[in-house]
Amino acid sequence: MPHARPRPDATARAAAETPFLELLARGAAAEEYERPVLRARADGAGQEELAALERGKMLALRVRAELEGRRRREAELSALFETAHDLAGLRDLDAVLQAIVQRARSLLGTECAYLTLNDPQAGDTYMRVTDGSVSARFQQLRLGMGEGLGGLVAQTARPYVTDSYFDDPRFQHTRTIDSGVRDEGLVAILGVPLMLGSGVIGVLFAADRRARVFEREQTALLASFAAHAAVAIDTANLLAETRSALAELENANEIIRDRSAVIERASEVHDRLTELVLRGGGVHDVAAAVAEVLSGSVSFAESGAAPAEAVERSRQDGHAVRHGDDWVAAVSAGGELLGALVLRGHPGLDPVDQRTLERAAMVTSLLLIARRSAGEAEQRVRGELLDDLLDAPERDPRLLRERAVRLSADLDAPHVVLTARVESAGTGDTAEQETADRQRLWSAASHLAATRHGLAAARDGGTVLLLPAVPDETAGETARQTAAQLGAAVPGAVTVGASAPVPAPASSPGSVAAAYAESRRCVEALRLLGRAGEGAAAEDFGFLGLLLADSGDVGAFVRRTIGPVADYDERRGTELVRTLEAYFGCAMSPARTKEELHVHVNTVAQRLERIGRLLGPDWQSPARALEIQLALRLHRLASAVDR
């Protein structure tokens, strides 16, 4: 069937629409659509042709507007999709919010976009992020509820728009807000609420620095961005809460792990301290065990060696106290301070570890009390054995030896008997003070006897000791050392007298009582001579020792006094002893002595010089001269008896 020929009006209409289709195809600007009409009018086209061109122009502009709207909606949807994608991978809330205001500004074609958040505590809303802003004052604005456009949006939860902010009477204008908006130069402002459920958490704005009418589609678009911003903020808050909860859980787990470790350490300390007590460990073993568990340096300090103020605080509080970088726990029992445990270089100590140190101090006090009780029992046993030696000389030597062996004493070896008396520190001493001093003296003497494998007992207002004789040490030296050691343990001076060595106390118990009497006479002699607080034996008193000693050993006295001179005569064949006798017989006159000996005076001087080197520079002092003269007479008497 042949095609029908187009009607002339259809042909004219197609010819009129063709130039507009070309404009649509290349996306020409709206003002270019007037050119075909103007060109036809200039060419003298008829009314029908011009009317067709006008209809074509209107249809083309309508199509162009539809295409522009679709492209705009496509861009908006793309921006919303990108925003949703950013939210899905939310890492930084600030970055997401900044992207939202940037896209809102770009799509709405505004000069500025910004976002505020509500502050429930302050009761206002504050600027959170901006894009396109140039004013520092504007970027730091805070809007009260109901103040300005943003405050009204935050208060009513409804979007508001103004073509000219300063001319709009709907908003509560304040100097602060108006100054900030004026600094930024804003005129037209659109604000939409950020909603979470039914609550407003902030406002999203788009603004221009010139008068402008925002369309309904632009308000809807900005509201969509506001919804995304609200989701981003809520998600970020949830993530922050989750992170905070996880951090708290981690901290709780860490605390639980630490507490478990501390409790385990405390249990370990308890077990080790119990084991130490059961096997008879000492205070230093306790300190070592605590140091290992607490990873520090722990030592036991005597009461005088620990920090006094810290120890007193610990004793009063009943807890370990911090002293600088150290911790101090007082060791006390029944109100008596025995010392302290000191943990050094460990300033940070949790309550459980502190309790561990306190428990160790308590165990230390128990060990010290137990040791003291055992020591006192041992002291009583030592005292009873010495009392038997002094008071019951008829005791079976075998039984005495057996008892001594249990105390680690050897009564078949030579011993020295010493008597110790404490001198009062002043005239105002009370009977209680003297009793306390005697108790301290007995305790110190008992300790010394235990360390020297000897015996000690309280007796006759003082203390008596039976100590093993030390080779190459005289009884006088032993007495002086003992006086110094005991004197350091009591407030007053201690006077000590020593006997001559007793060869074997177990074999001749009676000799111990005689030696004790000799040591007591030495103590009394020291006190009468004004030498209280010193130590001496009978041999230290010269000829007076002959009266103090029960043995009356004349030969020993002569040997101690002029033995070097007599030995020199015997070796060299000289007459120094005879010269001494003549010298004292002539009233210590060298001139008369040379006449008595029929020698030159220089010879007398030389002999006297030799005697001085043998006897010492003080041999002519009154006390020494008296002893020498007595020794010379006893020497002559002994020589006559021998002949």
Least confident of 406-415, 582-591, 618-627: 618-627
The reported pLDDT for the residue numbered 535 is: 87
Residues 318, 361 contacting (CB under 8 angstroms): no
Q: With cut-offs at 50, 70 and 90, classify the pLDDT of residue 206.
A: very high
Tell me which residue of 169, 213, 208, 152 sits closest to 185, measured CA to CA.
Answer: 208
Q: With cut-offs at 50, 70 and 90, classify the pLDDT of residue 383.
A: low
Residues 548, 516 contacting (CB under 8 angstroms): no
Q: Which two tokens stand for residue 87?
A: 């939210």
Question: How far is the CA of 291 from the CAs of 285, 297, 305, 392, in angstroms?
Answer: 10, 5, 19, 52
The reported pLDDT for the residue numbered 85 is: 62
The reported pLDDT for the residue numbered 81 is: 63
The reported pLDDT for the residue numbered 14 is: 64
Average pLDDT over residues 419-429: 72
612 vs 404, more confident: 612
The reported pLDDT for the residue numbered 468 is: 92
**Tell me: the pLDDT tens digits for 209-235?**
999 888 888 888 888 888 877 887 787
d(CA 486, CA 479): 11
419 vs 428, more confident: 419
The reported pLDDT for the residue numbered 549 is: 46
DSSP structure string for 42-99 = HTT--HHHHHHHHHHHHHHHHHHHHHHHHHHHHHHHHHHHHHHHHHHT---HHHHHHH
Which residue bears the tokens 């054995």?
385
From the CA atom positions of the chain, what is the Rg in Å?
Answer: 59
**Tell me: the pLDDT tens digits for 539-557?**
776 555 444 444 445 566 6
Average pLDDT over residues 488-513: 83
The reported pLDDT for the residue numbered 94 is: 82
Residues 6+ away with beta carbon under 8 Å from 399:
none
Share of the chain above pLDDT 90, in %: 11
Share of the chain above pLDDT 70, in %: 80
Tell me which residue of 584, 603, 583 sits closest to 593, measured CA to CA.
Answer: 583
Backbone phi, psi, residue 204, to 5°: -110, 130
d(CA 453, CA 13): 141
Residues 6+ away with beta carbon under 8 Å from 618:
624
| Sign of the torsion angle spanned by Cα atoms 19, 24, 26, 28 | positive
The reported pLDDT for the residue numbered 547 is: 44
Q: What is the distance of C-alpha 438 from the center of its chain?
A: 43
Residues 488, 420 contacting (CB under 8 angstroms): no
Would you tell me how many other CB atoms lie within 10 Å of the CB of residue 285? 18
Question: What pTM does this model have?
Answer: 0.40
- Select, from the ranges 47-61, 85-99, 550-564, the one with the highest average predicted confidence (pLDDT): 47-61
Q: With cut-offs at 50, 70 and 90, classify the pLDDT of residue 120.
A: confident
d(CA 198, CA 213): 29
Q: With cut-offs at 50, 70 and 90, classify the pLDDT of residue 392.
A: confident
**Tell me: the pLDDT tens digits for 446-459?**
888 888 888 888 88
The reported pLDDT for the residue numbered 188 is: 94
- Select, from the ranges 59-63, 100-104, 278-282, 353-357, the one with the highest average predicted confidence (pLDDT): 100-104
What amino acid is encoded at 387 in this protein?
Answer: D
Average pLDDT over residues 407-414: 85
**Tell me: the pLDDT tens digits for 565-608?**
888 888 888 888 888 888 888 888 888 888 888 888 888 888 88
What amino acid is encoded at 521 in this protein?
Answer: R
The reported pLDDT for the residue numbered 524 is: 77
The reported pLDDT for the residue numbered 643 is: 45
The reported pLDDT for the residue numbered 550 is: 46
For the sheet containing 336-344, what is the strand order? 297-301, 336-344, 326-333, 321-323
Residues 631, 558 contacting (CB under 8 angstroms): yes
pLDDT of 508 above 50: yes
Residues 362, 370 contacting (CB under 8 angstroms): no
Q: What is the distance of C-alpha 429 from the center of its chain?
A: 45
420 vs 559, more confident: 420
The reported pLDDT for the residue numbered 548 is: 42
For the sheet containing 455-459, what is the strand order? 455-459, 462-468, 415-422, 494-498, 535-537
Average pLDDT over residues 67-80: 65
316-345 in b/e form (b: 16+ CB < 10 A) is eeebbbbbeebbbbbbbeeeebbbbbbbee
Q: Where are the beta strands (DSSP E) in 395-545?
A: 415-422, 455-459, 462-468, 494-498, 535-537
**Tell me: the pLDDT tens digits for 344-381?**
866 677 777 778 777 777 777 777 776 665 555 556 66
d(CA 378, CA 386): 12
The reported pLDDT for the residue numbered 562 is: 79
383 vs 584, more confident: 584
The reported pLDDT for the residue numbered 344 is: 80
The reported pLDDT for the residue numbered 91 is: 63
The reported pLDDT for the residue numbered 13 is: 60
The torsion defined by the Cα of 372, 378, 384 and 390, in degrees rounded to 10, comes to -100
**Tell me: the pLDDT tens digits for 146-164?**
888 988 898 889 999 999 9
Residues 6+ away with beta carbon under 8 Å from 359:
269, 270, 273
319 vs 68, more confident: 319
Residues 619, 611 contacting (CB under 8 angstroms): yes
Which residue bears the tokens 């003002």?
31
Q: With cut-offs at 50, 70 and 90, classify the pLDDT of residue 75.
A: low
d(CA 312, CA 573): 74
Give the helix, strand, coil percentages of the chain, each rounded to 5.
60, 15, 25
28 vs 535, more confident: 535
Average pLDDT over residues 72-99: 67
Q: What is the distance of C-alpha 547 from the center of its chain?
A: 66
Least confident of 104-118, 429-443, 463-477, 594-608: 429-443
Least confident of 79-83, 383-387, 398-402, 494-498: 79-83
The reported pLDDT for the residue numbered 137 is: 92
